């Protein structure tokens, strides 16, 4: 499949068949993820691949509990209800045969070090950090993963929603190391036949300006 064709065809898949995913295919996706650009080539990502059904179910349970906890914080019942309706978007991975947990290491910026040690204004340091370069690299890596998975016949969903339970998730799966932070998850599996259409995109004119 051509790259451009793949980009247009990819859509988020939230329902999976009860079929296994080959380890070699997961590795192919991970290799593609690692081909992504990263700031100063720091390759600040780490992936934890979970195929243990019981563990995936436990993770979904802690995410569900945290979701309920957050809903309960809302005083307005309608807001509570609305948030609870979103639960399926946070726990969709519970029926996926593969869950990839994606971590990022902070992006080390020499500029920040220079500015800090020379007592630069906090606002200059903040401007530098506002690009969230570490997270941007994760986005690039995940997109490579998703596109490769699709080419291999799998469906995926990129998720940050469940990260609201990152502590609880890490209690279950352990931490990579202290410097790594859980950023997102990828649900992966063979997609069911009946799938909703890919959502429409904004018109290019709404999101693009040309300066000649």
Which residues of this protein are in contact with ligand FMN, per CB under 6 A? 11-12, 14, 89-90, 92, 157-161, 198-199
What residue is closest to ligand FMN based on CB?
A: 161
In whole angstroms, what is the distance from residue 165 CA to residue 66 CA? Answer: 6
Helix, strand, coil share of the chain (percent; to 5): 55, 15, 35
Q: How far is the CB of 22 from ligand FMN (least distance, A)?
A: 23
**Complex with ligand FMN: residue 85 or 116, whichever CB lies closer:** 85
| Helical pair 23-33 and 133-151, crossing angle rounded to 10 deg | 140
Given the complex with ligand FMN, which of 84 and 120 has the nearer CB atom?
84
Shortest distance (Å) from residue 167 CB to ligand FMN: 17
Structure-token pair, residue 171 = 């209690």
- Closest to ligand FMN by CB, 15 vs 46, is 15
Q: Cα–Cα distance between 163 and 103 in angstroms, integer?
A: 11
Q: Nearer Cβ to ligand FMN, position 105 or 125?
A: 105
């Amino acid at each position: 499949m051509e790259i451009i064709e793949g980009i247009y065809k990819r859509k988020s898949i939230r329902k999976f068949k009860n079929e296994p995913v080959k380890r070699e295919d997961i590795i192919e996706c991970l290799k593609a993820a690692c081909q992504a650009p990263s700031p100063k080539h720091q390759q600040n990502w780490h992936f934890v691949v979970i195929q243990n059904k019981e563990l995936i179910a436990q993770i979904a349970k802690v995410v569900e509990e945290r979701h309920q906890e957050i809903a309960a914080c809302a005083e307005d019942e309608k807001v509570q209800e609305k948030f609870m309706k979103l639960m399926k978007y946070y726990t969709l991975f519970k029926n996926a045969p593969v869950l990839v947990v994606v971590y990022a290491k902070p992006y080390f910026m020499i500029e920040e070090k220079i500015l800090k040690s020379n007592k630069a204004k906090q606002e200059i340091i903040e401007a530098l950090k506002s690009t969230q370069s570490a997270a941007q690299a994760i986005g690039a890596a995940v997109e490579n993963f998703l596109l490769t998975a699709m080419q291999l016949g799998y469906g995926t969903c990129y998720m940050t929603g469940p990260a609201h339970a990152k502590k609880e998730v890490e209690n279950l799966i352990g931490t990579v190391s202290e410097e790594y932070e859980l950023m997102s998850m990828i649900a992966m599996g063979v997609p069911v036949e009946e799938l909703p259409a890919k959502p429409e995109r904004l018109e290019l004119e709404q999101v693009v300006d040309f300066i000649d």
